[in-house]
Structure formats: structure tokens, C-alpha cells
Amino acid sequence: MLYYIFRKEFTDSIIKIQSRSMIDRDDLVDKIANDPNIIPLKGVIGPSPLRELIGFHATTSLPRDLMHDFIEGICPVIIISLLKQASALRIITYIRIQERMENFQYGKFDSSNQPPPLLVKHLQKDHMVATAAQKLCFFKLFPIISNDVVDLLPSFIVYKVLREILDLLLLYPFRKKWLHVLGELCETFYETMLSHFPDKITPKAHFIREYKYMINDFGPAVR
């Protein structure tokens, strides 16, 4: 009973998290100026080198980074979370996951970005050793490599929504009329994360909710 009470309180607190405002960041910069020993403070290490530019502010003038937020950020987190859940449900073992990646035959267009196999120690440490291109390759091929596993995972919906978001963001040109769909997908992804992996909601998971507004302000996530 205590677990469910804690989980609800934890989930409710995450839902209430707001994006950092200009005032919030300026306050953190002021605190660092008064006490340099507290660096970094909530991810801030000091004033932006671009602060002298007219109209510039670090919280509103810099677009998000698709590669770091998605390909090297939330995508590997979801893949590892799904595989660990599969192991916990006794669907597949860590050793079998490693063997499957070692034996998978990559096609002509994917072989140059073939990811190294996920070793047992990587899964235990929630860490994927690969380049951004290799992580993207693995993310896209995950349902094929694990075709007999994914349908048994109650949390596979998280991957499917994230895949739709990523496929949309990688399109160029990006049509402005797609922003509403993107916003709905991002909110749906956040809700599925709260349902299945609330302890994996990192800052980058929060950033995803802002991509609709970022693209509206700065243009497509890829150029």
C-alpha cells in the first residue's frame, strides 16, 4: 500500500514540473555569482557567453538538440528499460540479448552503422556503448531484432509512441500543420512514461514536451 501511495505522490510531483523560466535561470546565475563553490547548480555553471547579444537569453534563444535529447538521450533509455523488463518477466535473458545482437544480420544500408552488442554489464549499468548513428540504427531495428519479445511487453507502447515522434522530427521539410500532431504525440509519450517508467523520466524526457514550441520558434529539428 505504501508503495502505491509513494508512486502516486511521485507521479503527481513529476506532472507538476514546469519548464525553467528566464527568471529561474537568472536567479541561479546570481546565486553562482555570489557563491562559486556551488557550481554546477541545477545544471547551470554561470552566465552564457552569448549574454551580451541583443535579445538573447539562454532559456528562450537556443533550440533543442535532437541528437542529444533523442538519439543519445531518451531512445537508449527506453530500449534498455524494455530489455530489462523483458528479463524481469523471464521472456529473455541478458545473455540471450547479447547473443541475438551478435548474430543479427544487418542489411546493406545498416551495416555501416551496426551497433556493438549490448553486453550483460551494459544492461546492468543502464548504459549503451555506441555512436549516435549506431544507437539510431539499433532503435529503428529493435522491433525486428526482438520481434518475438516486444508483443509480450506491456510497456512496448512507450517505444511505439517515441518512434512516431522521432520519425516525424527527422522529416525534412517539416510542415507547420504537423505541430499539433507532434504536440499530441509528445504528451502521449509523457503519459506512457508516467505509467510504465516513471523513474526514468530524466530532464531529456521533459525536453521532449517542448519540441512543438521549439520547432514553431526555430524551424525543423533537422536541416
Crossing angle for the helix pair 156-169 and 179-196, to the nearest 10 degrees: 150
| pLDDT-derived band at 42, boundaries 50, 70, 90 | confident
Whole-angstrom Cα distance, residue 75 to residue 166? 9
Give the pLDDT confidence of 55-65 residue by residue, as tens digits: 888 777 777 78
At 12, the pLDDT band (50, 70, 90 cuts) reads: low
Per-chain mean pLDDT for the chain: 87
Q: What is the pTM of this model?
A: 0.81
Residue 81 has pLDDT above 60, yes or no: yes
* Predicted pLDDT of residue 103: 94
pLDDT at 38 over 60: yes
Domain-by-domain residue ranges, the chain?
A: 16-62, 66-218
Instruction: Tell me which residue of 150, 136, 146, 127 sits closest to 80, measured CA to CA.
Output: 127
What is the C-alpha to C-alpha distance for residues 128 and 122, in angstroms, rounded to an integer? 6
Residue 7: phi and psi, rounded to 5, are -60, -40
Q: Is the pLDDT assigned to residue 219 strictly greater than 60?
A: yes
**Grid coordinates in use for 86?**
523483458
146 close to 91: Cβ distance less than 8 angstroms: no
The pLDDT of residue 60: 78
- Written as nine digits, the cell of 173 is 521539410
8 A C-beta contact, residue 174 and residue 220: yes
Among 14-18, 50-54, 90-94, 217-221, top mean pLDDT goes to 90-94
| Residue 39 banded pLDDT, cuts 50, 70, 90 | confident
Q: What is the mean pLDDT of residues 167-171?
A: 94
Whether the CB-CB separation of 186 and 211 falls below 8 Å is answered with yes
User: What does the pLDDT read at residue 73?
Assistant: 92
Residue 10 pLDDT exceeds 50: no
**What are the backbone angles phi and psi of residue 41, rounded to the nearest 5°?**
-120, 105
- Is residue 145 very low, low, confident or very high in pLDDT (cuts 50, 70, 90)? very high
pLDDT band at 129 (very low <50, low <70, confident <90, very high): very high
